[in-house]
Amino acid sequence: MPATFGQIDCKLYPSAFSGEWVFQVAAIDGSFEGVAPKHYVETPTPPTKDGVDGQVRVRVISNGGEEARISMPDGQVLTVRPEKVHEE
């Protein structure tokens, strides 16, 4: 089955660089933090130092049962709760 694309719920924070934002995702085995280009991120309000809710674009490798496997913008593969993933 080919991978699809979607978004995952996350917390967003400002980055030191203007073209990207820091995201934090709740994975099954702990929290993962990374950076994504702004065009990979959706949020109703700009990120603040306290964080705002948003979504980051991911590649969905598998989604079913009690877990989903996704590839983050930097290539890191995470296992997350399936209800956090919104496939296109």
The reported pLDDT for the residue numbered 64 is 84
Cβ contact 42:7 at 8 Å: yes
Amino acid at 63: N
The reported pLDDT for the residue numbered 65 is 84
* Interval 69-85 mean pLDDT: 94
Cβ count near 57 (within 10 Å): 17
The reported pLDDT for the residue numbered 1 is 56
CA distance to 30, 74, 79, per residue, from 40 (Å): 22, 11, 19
Measure the N-to-C terminal CA separation of the chain; round to a whole number of Å: 15
Residues 6+ away with beta carbon under 8 Å from 27: 78, 79, 80
* Interval 73-85 mean pLDDT: 94
pLDDT tens-digit map of 19-70: 999 999 999 999 999 999 999 999 999 999 999 999 999 999 998 889 999 9
The reported pLDDT for the residue numbered 31 is 95
